Amino acid sequence: MKRETLTYQADGLSMRSQLVLEDAAEPRAGILVFPEAFGLDARAIERAQRLASLGYVALACDLHGDALVIDELQEAMAVLQPLFDDPSRTRTRASAALNALAARPEVDPARIAAIGFCFPMSIELARSGAPIKAAVGFHTSLATKAPPCGRGEIKASVLVCIGADDPFIPASHRAAFEEEMRSAGADWEMSVYGNTVHSFTNQEAAKRNRPEAIRYSQRADSRAWASALELFSRLLK
């Protein structure tokens, strides 16, 4: 398995993402891996490696610029607040990653998908109308301050995997997202896992010492990952 730093510019920042792939004779499907709010850490890279082992070209994407990782949750959320306030900036960073991956000779630009954890990079990329096949969000924020998408604007198949008891994504946000997807005529699905809160894919969630809000769930993690892989197998292979 090969890994290299892929650098590109976005939103006034130098983004230093990690490209992960195995050797192959022909261009393959590519998958963008957007990290949690903390930034491009080992967890995002490990997910990219999992995807590369299945034959995809995966790009674990920089979030904050210069591959910065912010370990303190409140600090990370404060840094990201301007992006929540202006989703066009989120979309700019996500689109730059998409363009960088699509330009690689190892990648078939007609077969690209995106996944994201916590921060809604993958979902905002889909909302932008980007020409990707699929967008998956794991415990990703669903609310947006962007104008509603017009009918037919969302090109990607959208899958969101949410904890039923996630205090950061209440039922009202899920309902609003459903209505947004219906109005846009999108191909979408939502998996909601019982007894599950935020960051259910993060095996280090316990160190936050907030089990009522942030907690790993092996059951939800494995189910959500299997759902994403099934979607990719159907749309990208």
Q: Give pLDDT, residue 48.
A: 98
Question: Whole-structure pTM over 0.95, yes or no?
Answer: yes
Look up the CATH architecture of domain 2-236.
3-Layer(aba) Sandwich (3.40)
Residue 68 in this model has a pLDDT that exceeds 90: yes
**Which residues are paired to 9 by β-bridges?**
14
Which of these, 60, 62, 10, 16, lies nearest to 39 by C-alpha position? 62
pLDDT at 237: 84
Please give the backbone phi and psi of residue 212, each rounded to the nearest 5 degrees, phi first: -75, -15
Give ∠ CA 123-128-131 in degrees, rounded to 5: 90
The domain limits of the chain are 2-236
Sequence-distant (≥ 6) Cβ neighbours of residue 63 within 8 angstroms: 34, 35, 37, 39, 40, 93, 119, 121
